[in-house]
Structure 1
Amino acid sequence: MKRYDQLYRLYEAFPVDTLRAYQDFVELFPPVASRVALEHWEEASDELDRRKSAIERAFVDGEAFAEIAAHATRQQAFTALDLHSKYDRAVNVLVLDVDETLRSAGETDNEIPRETLSLLTEFHEAGIPIVICTGQTLENVKGFMIQGLGSELVHSGDLSIVYEAGTGVFTPGHGADTKHLLYEDLEEEIVSIFDHLRSRVLREAPEDLRRGCHLQGNEFNVTMKPNFEIGSEKAVGIIDDALVYELDLLGEAVAGTTDREPADVREFSRAFYAESDPEIRAVLDDAGSIPDPGAIPDDVEAFFERIDVAYYEGDAAEIGSLELNKVVGVEAAFSVLGIDDPFALVMGDSKSDLRVMEWVAGERSGIGAAPEHASADVLEFVRGADDLVFDRGRSADMLRTAYALNRLAALD
């Protein structure tokens, strides 16, 4: 009860909302060449120090409580206390999805907010490694992370990028371990299937798909993206068509490996993935394309069981390896970063992020958090664990909770 009583007193006795406003102003004030603006910032900085000092004098662990009040709302602080009581651990690594988690097309203009970037910098300065875990290509994510966090942080040796949902890991500053191409460890037959897919996917696509889609610049995964606004009616239609086309192309690639008739394996492919994923089934059902080929031969099914087909409505149709996923990538990143006993904050919105959340939960090595618009399976898992759900575009709120958790854990 001691920590609870201290937090209760902190948020009752001090104007913490004003303190937090001063903290945000000082931290997020943009660099401007203005003497008046600089004087205003200095006045705010002095007032921030004055208000923190008042809290520091009122508590035995005053510096920690001042920083908690300056960074976290009352609800965030008490959530942090609950997490500390349950797990008795501080977060020692951040595992963060990007799209619709750190940034949101609907709420943050598809940019990572400065507030979020500032908090990530604070975690970095506190010695907490950061693992960016995304389905995007390496060059894309590396570029905007350098733009947002700066080249020095990205190349500090404490940041790793798991890209293309686990096909590769990039950890600058680690010599020969800087880049791991995890797909190189796959069996030759699986690699040959993906080579087959990549060489044909656009070249042999129907004209409407060639005009309406492009191939994302992945190193390994085969991902068709719309040439229309993501989520628009045209994008939904073209990605639905792309999904059916990719399933047939996958069937033909597997047929070449098993010496079975391509027409038969195309039907097996549609049937297998319709049974595996209700969203894929719905697309095939709408297209009138769900066959009933009977029992799928064991040698064909063995390949399908190792290959993932992912559908994101109006966004992407993707084929990847089930042996390469974000869990495999995160494990590799932890190894390079030297994290032997992780307690991770995993933030994400999709099924691939859910796998990481389930993994850390099963190992008692982390907690999961998700935005309110995450997929239903992710939200069900997160709410059933610690209910760490944040508003769209407000990833900073979860980072503030983690900041408070770490401050509380440091008091023990």
Structure 2
Amino acid sequence: MTHKDIKLVAIDLDGTLLTDDKQLPQANIDAIHQAIQAGVQVVICTGRTLPGVREIMAQLPFDGEDDFLILQNGSVTHRLHDLEIVDQVTLSREAREVLMDFARVFDEEGAQLVAFDQEGMMLVSQYEANKLVVSDSKALSTPITPFTADEFLAFESFNKAMVLAEPEILDALKDRLPSELFEHYSTVRSQPIIAEFLVKGVSKASSLKNLAKRLDIEAEHVMAIGDQLNDLEMIQWAGLGVAMGNAVARIKEVADVVTGSNEDAGVAQAIEKHILSKGKA
């Protein structure tokens, strides 16, 4: 593939567009602006919720009525200018029941269940939020709302759920997940401390496919950039899959190319090389 083929760029946030201290390098802002000016569609694809991206999106040069935003690892897609939901999935009652049974077992081991709708972060635990949940709440600019098990089962608007725990706890839980969970969920380790539970079949790739279809753009004309396992499917699906220099090994294995790290504005490097450089030939 050559850079002249790229019509849509999908970019992860944490560990990709943002530095480790959650800053947005000016080089990345400038490169996105130039890509948009060159007629390329740019979409942010993140595991974050809406409150957790507002401050970042305000720094990016999106101003068109046909800009979009993919959140919660593909569970929700918004039209950016008015935040209209154009695509979303929610957890079924049966899926919530299965997950609740699992969460009850491991709550005492320090693995806490949280679930998200558009604006909220609900903690389903017999304990106060652990330090990882508190930290995630701050990162997402979303206060924690305690939910009982009954409230979790009655609530119809959850887009996804997560279990947060220290890496060694999640490592141990991985082999103990009941098979019934996988009948209802796609699971992904989005960070060492986070295991995510999405509606079965949902990923960043599934929403990116739907968006590309809406925009009449084929996969071969899409570039996807990411660093973690929740980026894997979209990097595999895109015509040009780009791994960050700081990406986990599996992402580098499936990607077509590797760019610089998030600390070195690797997103800007990828956009420059595969999109903008054609104007300098």
The TM-score, its normalising length taken from structure 2, stands at: 0.69
For 2:67, the equivalent position in structure 1 comes to 159
Once the 2 structures are TM-superposed, how far is the Cα of residue 344 of structure 1 from its aligned partner? 1.5
The within-5 A match list for 1:70-109 is 84=2, 89-105=4-20, 109=21
Alignment partner, residue 389 of structure 1: 259
Instruction: Count residues in correspondence.
Output: 245
Q: Equivalents in 2 of 1:352, 1:221: separation in Å?
A: 21
Q: Tell me the CA shift for residue 112 of structure 1.
A: 1.3
Residue 379 (structure 1) aligns with: 252
For 2:38 and 2:103, the matched residues in 1 are separated by 47
Higher normalized helix content (fraction of residues): 1
Deviation readout 1:303-333 (Å, 9 max, x if unpaired): 6244123335553232212321111110222
Counterpart contact for 1:216–1:222, Cα < 8 Å: yes
Change in Cα spacing, 1:206 to 1:379, as seen in structure 2 (3 Å) is closer
- The aligned residue for residue 215 of structure 1 is 114
Runs of 4+ in 1 over 6 A off after TM superposition: 197-205, 220-226
Distance (Å, rounded) in 1 between the aligned partners of 2:106 and 2:120: 17
Say if 2:131 is the partner of 1:228.
yes
- Asked if the contact 2:50/2:119 (under 8 Å) is kept, the reply is no
Q: Which has the higher contact order (CA 8 A, sep 6+)?
A: 2
Structure 1 residue 358 corresponds to structure 2 residue 243: no
Q: Which amino acid aligns with 2:131?
A: F
Asked whether the equivalents of residues 197 and 222 of structure 1 are also in contact (C-alpha less than 8 Å), the reply is no
CA RMSD, 1 decimal: 4.2
What's the counterpart of residue 149 of structure 1? 60
Asked whether 1:137 is paired with 2:49, we answer: yes
Letter of the 2:250 partner, please give it: D
In 2, the alpha carbon distance for the partners of 1:94 and 1:227 equals 36
Contact 2:190/2:228, CA 8 A, preserved across alignment:
no
In 1, the alpha carbon distance for the partners of 2:191 and 2:72 equals 18
For 1:149, give the aligned amino acid: L
Q: Aligned partners of 1:228 and 1:338: how far apart in 2?
A: 44
Report whether the alignment pairs 1:114 with 2:26.
yes
Give the CA deviation at 1:204. Answer: 9.7
Q: Distance in 2 between matches of 1:223 and 1:398?
A: 37
For the structure 1 residues 126 and 389, does the alpha-carbon distance in structure 2 shift closer, same or farther, using more than 3 Å as the test? closer
* Aligned partner of residue 52 in structure 2, secondary structure: helix
Distance change in 2, residues 1:391/1:205 (3 Å):
closer
**Structure in which a larger fraction of residues adopt strand:** 2
Q: Specify every segment of 5 or more residues in structure 1 that has no aligned partner in the other structure, as ranges.
A: 1-82, 185-189, 236-248, 254-278, 361-365
**Deviation larger for 132-141 or 198-207:** 198-207
Q: Where do 5+ consecutive residues of structure 2 fail to align?
A: 137-148, 154-167
Q: Distance in 2 between matches of 1:95 and 1:401?
A: 16
Q: Flag the structure with larger Rg.
A: 1
